[in-house]
Structure 1
Amino acid sequence: MTQKAIEFHNISKKFKHAQYYAVDKVNLSIEEGEFITILGSSGSGKTTLLKMVNKLYEPSQGSISLFGEDIANIDSIRLRRKIGYVIQQIGLFPHMTIAQNVATIPKLLQWNKKKINDRVAYLLNLVGLDANDFMNRYPSQLSGGQQQRIGLARALAVDPKIMLLDEPLGAVDAITRLSLQEELLRIHGGLNKTFLLVTHDINEAFKLGSRVVIMNSGKVSQFDTPRNIVANPADEFVYSLIESSRSQEQFWEGLR
Structure 2
Amino acid sequence: MAQTAIEISNVSKIYSQTGTYAVDHVNLSIEEGEFITILGSSGSGKTTLLKMINRLYEPDEGSITLFGENIAALDPVLVRRRIGYVIQQVGLFPHMTIKQNVAAVPKLLKWDTAKIAARVDELLSLVGLTPAVFKSRYPAQLSGGQQQRIGLARALASDPKIMLLDEPFGAIDAITRMNLQDELLRIHGGLKKTFLFVTHDINEAFKLGNRVIVMDQGRVCQFDTPKNIASSPADGFVASLIASSREQEKFWEGLV
Q: How many residues align?
A: 256
The question of 1:206 aligning with 2:196 is answered: no
Instruction: Give CA-to-partner distance per residue, 1:36-66, whole Å, 9 cap, x none.
Output: 0000000000000000000000000000000
How big is each residue's C-alpha offset from its partner over 1:182-219, in whole Å with a ceiling of 9 and x where there is no partner?
Answer: 00000000012000000000000000000000000000
Structure 2 CA distance for aligned equivalents of residues 202 and 20 of structure 1: 26
SS of aligned partner of 2:196: strand
Aligned counterparts of 2:99 and 2:19: Cα–Cα separation in 1:
45
Unaligned runs of 5+ in 1: none
The residue type equivalent to 1:50 in the other structure is: L
C-alpha distance in 1, partners of 2:145/2:207? Answer: 19
Q: Which residue of 1 aligns with 2:120?
A: 120
* CA distance in 2 between partners of 1:158 and 1:25 (Å): 32
- Correspondence for 1:51: 51
Unaligned runs of 5+ in 2: none
Q: Which residue of 1 aligns with 2:18?
A: 18
- Give the SS at the match of 1:197: strand
TM-score by length of 2: 0.99
Deviation at 1:18, TM superposition (A): 2.2
1: CA distance, partners of 2:68 / 2:18: 31
**Structure 2 residue 66 is matched with structure 1 residue 81:** no
Q: What CA deviation, in whole Å up to 9, does each residue of 1:67-117 have, x standing for no partner?
A: 011100110001100000000000101111000000001111111110000
SS where residue 22 of structure 1 aligns? strand
Q: Mapping of 1:137-216 within 5 angstroms?
A: 137-216=137-216
Cα deviation for residue 246 of structure 1 reads 0.4
Tell me, yes or no, if structure 1 residue 130 matches structure 2 residue 130: yes
Asked if 1:28 is matched to 2:20, the reply is: no
Which residue identity lines up with residue 174 of structure 2 in the other structure? Answer: A
Return the letter of the residue paired with 1:119: R
TM superposition shift of 1:156:
0.1
Distance 1:7 1:104 in 2: 29
Shift of residue 17 of structure 1? 1.2
**Aligned equivalents of 2:15, 2:71: Cα separation in 1:** 20
- RMSD of Structure 2 on Structure 1 (CA): 0.5
Residue 19 of structure 1, CA deviation: 3.4
CA positional deviation for 1:2: 1.1
SS at 1:26's partner residue? strand
| Residue identity matched to 2:146 | Q
The SS at the match of 1:93 is coil
- The separation in 2 between residues aligned to 1:18 and 1:109, in whole angstroms, is 40
SS of 1:92's equivalent? coil
Identity %: 72
Shift in Å, 1:15 = 2.2
Q: Which residue pairs with 1:67 in the alignment?
A: 67
Normalising by structure 1, report the TM-score.
0.99
Show the counterpart of 2:95: 95
Asked if 1:104 corresponds to 2:136, the answer is no
Q: Which amino acid in structure 1 is aligned with residue 252 of structure 2? A: W
Q: Distance in 1 between matches of 2:72 and 2:194?
A: 20
Amino acid at match of 1:136: S
Deviation >2 Å, runs of 4+: none
For residues 15 and 250 of structure 1, the distance between their equivalents in structure 2, rounded to whole angstroms, comes to: 39
Q: Distance in 1 between matches of 2:115 and 2:61?
A: 41
CA distance in 2, matches of 1:219, 1:110: 41
